[in-house]
Amino acid sequence: MTSDPKTMTCEEFQAYLPELIGSGENAANHPHLKNCELCRALLADLETIAEAARQLLPVAEPPDELWSQIESAIQREKAEPDPA
Amino acid sequence: MQPPDPDQKSAPNAVAPDPPPGAARPAHPVKFTSTATPNPAEADALARAQAGDHQAFAQLYSLHKRRIYSLCLRMVGNIAEAEDLTQDAFLQLHRKIATFRGDSAFSTWLHRLAINVVLMHLRRKGLSVISLDEAMEPAPDDGPGRSFGATDLTLAGSIDRLALEQAISDLPAGYRLIFVLHDIEGYEHNEIASMLDCSIGNSKSQLHKARLKLRDALHRFPRQEARA
C-alpha cells in the first residue's frame, strides 16, 4: 500500500479495505472515512453483515429419516467392516 | 428408532480453542455457541458412546444434528447434499469416536470433522476447486471501485435473518465457503487458508468480495419483497 491514507481515492481505499478489515484494526478510524460518506456507508454495511452472520443460529433441522439412514449405514459397516 | 430430542439450546455447546485431530487450531470459539461449559449430559453420552453404546451415540446425534446439518447446508447450499454430508459426518464420527481424547471440546472436534467431510466431498466433485478458482479470479464487477458510487441506501444496522440466509445460499460456492467458515463459523483467515489450500490474502480478499455480494443482495431484497 503506497498511497497516503489521507489522500486516498475511494477506489484505492476500497482496494485496501480487505486488508484493513482483515488486519483487525479499527477500520472506522481510517483517515479516508473522515470525509467520505460513501465509504463510511460501505464499511458500516460490511460490519453489519459480518455481525448479522455471527448471530446466525443453526436453525435447519435434518429430516427425521436421516437418523434411520445413519443407523442402517452403521449396521452395514458393522456387518462388513472396511478392510482399510 | 428416533434418538431422544434434546433441548435445542443444549446442542451448540462447549466450544474451546483446541485443535481437532489433524486440523488447524481454531483461534476462537465458533460464534454461535452460547457457552463454553461442557454439557454433563453430553459428557456422559460421549463416554458411553466411546464404549460402544448405540443409544448414547443416538443421543449425541440428537444433540448435534441441527448444528452439523446447518453447517453442511450453509457450506453446500443444497438440501440433498447437506443430508448426505450430515450422514457421512456422523458415520465418520461413529468410526472415530473412540479416538477422541478430550484435548478439545467435543463439539469443536465434531465440527471440524464435519467441515473436513464437506471439503473432501467438494474436492471429489471438483466443485471447490472450480468454484474457488472462479472466486479467486476477479470478475468484471468485482473490481475495487465496484462499490464506488453505488450506494443509494445503507442497511441501517439491521438485517433480516431470512434475507441473509437466502443471500448466503445464493453466493457462488467459493465465496459462500469462505464466508461461512469465517463470518458464521468463526475460523480465522490462516485456518481457512490452511483448510482450502489458498493464501491468507486470498481468504481475506474473497471474504470481502462475498460480503460485497451479500450487501448488493441485501440492498435489493426489500425491493424484491415489495414487488412480490
Which residues from B are below 8 Å from A42, CB to CB? Answer: 147, 151, 215
Chain B residues close to A68, C-beta within 8 Å: 1
Q: Do A61 and B215 touch (CB under 8 A)?
A: no
**pLDDT for A41-82, tens place per residue?**
999 999 899 999 988 877 789 999 999 999 999 999 888 755
Q: What is the pLDDT of residue B159?
A: 80
- Which residues of chain B are in CATH 1.10.1740.10 domains? 20-125
Mutate one of A71, A72, A75 to test the B interface: name it (highest B CB count within 10 A): A71
State the nearest Cα–Cα gap between A38 and chain B, in angstroms.
7
Contact B174, B134 (CB under 8 A): yes
Give residues with Cβ within 8 angstroms of B116, minimum separation 6.
Answer: B22, B23
**Is the predicted ipTM greater than 0.85, yes or no?**
no
Closest C-alpha to A53, from B176, B203, B142: B176
Question: Is domain B127-151+158-228 annotated with CATH 1.10.3470.10?
Answer: no
DSSP-assigned letter for residue A58? -
Q: Sorting pLDDT into bands at 50, 70 and 90, what band is A21?
A: confident
pLDDT for res B158 = 73
pLDDT digits (tens, 9 = 90+) for B61-95: 999 999 999 999 999 988 999 999 999 999 999 99
The H or E element spanning position B90 is helix B79-96
Name the residue in chain A with its Cα closest to that of B65.
A62
Q: For the domain bounded by B20-125, which CATH number is listed?
A: 1.10.1740.10
Closest residue, chain A, to B81 (C-alpha):
A62
- Rounded Cα–Cα distance for residues A5 and B116 (Å): 40
| C-alpha–C-alpha distance, residues B213 and B178, integer Å | 13
Q: Kindly report the backbone phi and psi dihedral angles of residue B203, in degrees, each rounded to the nearest multiple of 5, phi listed first.
A: -60, -45
Name, in order, each residue with C-beta under 8 angstroms of B184's C-beta and a sequence gap of 6 or more.
Answer: A53, A54, A56, B31, B32, B74, B168
- Quickly state the pLDDT bin for B198 (edges 50, 70, 90): confident
Interface of A with B (CB under 8 A): 10-12, 14-15, 17-19, 21-22, 38, 41-42, 44-46, 48-50, 52-64, 66-71, 73-74, 77
**CA–CA dist A17, B131 (Å, integer):** 23
Q: Residue A53 and residue B70: Cβ atoms within 8 Å?
A: no
Chain A residues whose CB is inside 8 A of the B31 CB are: 54-55
Q: pLDDT: is A58 or B150 the higher one? A: A58
CA–CA min distance A57, chain B (Å): 6
Select from A19, A50, A70 the Cβ nearest to the Cβ of B211.
A50
* Residue A12: strand, helix, or coil: helix
Mean pLDDT of chain B: 76
Instruction: Check residue B182 and report its DSSP letter.
Output: I
Residues of chain B with CATH 1.10.10.10: 127-151+158-228
Contact status, residue A54 vs residue B186, Cβ threshold 8 Å: yes
